[in-house]
Amino acid sequence: MVTEGVVPIQLGGFVPRATLAILVLHANTVVPASLLLESLWPRGVPSTGKKMLQNAISAIRRGFACVQRDDETSLVTQAPGYLLRVDPEQVDLLRFQRLLAEGRLALAAGKWELAARTLRRALLLWRGPMLADLVERGVSVPEIASLDNERLAAVEDRFDAELACGRHLEIVAELEAMVLAEPLRERLCGQLMMAHYRAGRQVDALGDYRAIRDEMADRQGIDPSPALQQLHEMILRHDPQLHVPAASTGAAAGGAGLGADQGVDPVPAGGDAVRSWIRLEPTGSAACRWRRCPPVGRALVEQVDFVCTRTPTLGGVERLAVGEVAERFGVTKNTLRYYESVGLLDPVERDAAGHRIYDEHAMACVVFVTRLRATGMSIRKLREYMDLARAGDHTAEQRRQILQEHRASLHTQRADIDACLEVIDNKIRGYGRLMAVPPAGKAS
């Protein structure tokens, strides 16, 4: 079933649903009509295939039109085929790839807890084999193999993070199941060896190595990699390097600031007062409260600085190609392309080969658009804020209005949380009353 939120979208049959699935796999990229036809009918396109594809495209557009949407999702005809323009945050696959990139950045930086948490969020987006029902009905989706391998690599990344956090006991059973399903993946086997060893099961860790060595010899006639052999030797001699590394908190130490306990910079006198801005790194007790603030709250406050002041700099960062920008800031190239297509990011320069090149200003915009989207702000509202930011400095009244809007947004979220807490409190009290009532036949 295809849904918008909880509202079912009626597409009218198997072909429209399969067509939409293929378009989603290539979201924000033109998909040639020939590729769609070959994917839908890999054993030979019927004589009515083109007409059936056109009908499927029409059905998808009707389905979109029946649902009130706040984003910019659209299906357009663009030679040599069709383009599904959609917010990457609305596509599980693209969200997975974004979270995977963020998790790997945290892993590379030694922020084990952040990496584990982010990678778990990414893997929760997988709810079973990809498009299994379509494949069973003969649809050709060659991307599935590479995407499944990407999922397995994400699982291995997550296990690395969990092991670094000292959670070998929590994941050992999951690792055993994964190695049973993928007996030739050396990285998984090495992680299981490490988990068993840290759990005080050296014999099992050595048995894990023998199992993959024998499996590789029987199936492929080769030995394990030098890295796995080295791990085996380290386990044999109880190498101290196998112990759990020191955990990384990922928290940066706060420096001294000029603000008072409230964490606000002093306002200069005269006309310069209009150019003053709220300090984003409070000091004193305000800093403690700020660190406890949920990420969504911090992101909402950070919007004020970006919208009210000139675009911030990144400290002289060099010009980067689009792939380097995507890797550095934990987004996908698809996401950047979408943000440009809906007007959130300005078009960037291209080099002689036609590749997009981002300067310092463009990269700063990427950072803040990503943060704004993380708060759940709609594309339409986000575009309004970016237009304000492009306009430059603002009057005190404009800044005041922006702050009031953000305050109202935070109050709305607080009201939702308070309502949930009230329901939970009522349930706790209800169970307390039930516990106070003696079971039937046991009344004193």
Q: Which of 27, 136, 148, 30 is nearest to 79 (CA)?
A: 30
420-to-413, 415, 424, 427 alpha-carbon distances in Å? 11, 9, 6, 11
Residues 6+ apart with CB under 8 A from 376: 296
Helix (H) or strand (E) holding 350: strand 349-350
Q: How is residue 7 written in tokens?
A: 């509202």
Q: How is residue 291 written in tokens?
A: 């660190």
Q: How is residue 288 written in tokens?
A: 């403690």
C-alpha 19: how far from chain center = 25
| pLDDT reading at 261 higher than 70 | no
Quick count: other Cβ atoms within 10 Å of Cβ 227? 11
pLDDT at position 73: 80
Identify the three-state secondary structure at position 376. Answer: coil
| pLDDT reading at 435 higher than 90 | no
pLDDT at position 324: 78
Distance CA 264, CA 286 (A): 9
Q: Which of 267, 245, 270, 248 is nearest to 258 (CA)?
A: 267
Q: Which of 126, 191, 130 is nearest to 156 (CA)?
A: 191
| pLDDT reading at 385 higher than 80 | no
Confidence category of residue 160, pLDDT binned at 50, 70, 90? very high
- 299-318: buried (b, 16+ CB within 10 Å) or exposed (e) per residue? bbbbbbebbbbeeeeeeeee
Do 144 and 126 meet the contact criterion of CB atoms below 8 Å apart?
Answer: no
Do 285 and 262 meet the contact criterion of CB atoms below 8 Å apart?
Answer: no
Distance CA 322, CA 366 (A): 11
Distance CA 388, CA 45 (A): 51
Q: Which of 296, 247, 266 is nearest to 112 (CA)?
A: 247
Confidence category of residue 270, pLDDT binned at 50, 70, 90? very low
User: Average pLDDT, stretch 150-179?
Assistant: 93
- Domains assigned to the chain: 3-90 (1.10.10.10), 93-242 (1.25.40.10), 291-398 (1.10.1660.10)
| pLDDT reading at 303 higher than 60 | no
Q: Which of 302, 332, 340 is nearest to 104 (CA)?
A: 332
Least confident of 130-139, 143-152, 315-324: 315-324
Q: When comparing pLDDT for 311 and 209, which is higher?
A: 209
Confidence category of residue 349, pLDDT binned at 50, 70, 90? confident
Identify the three-state secondary structure at position 83. Answer: strand
Bridge partners, residue 85, by sequence? 74
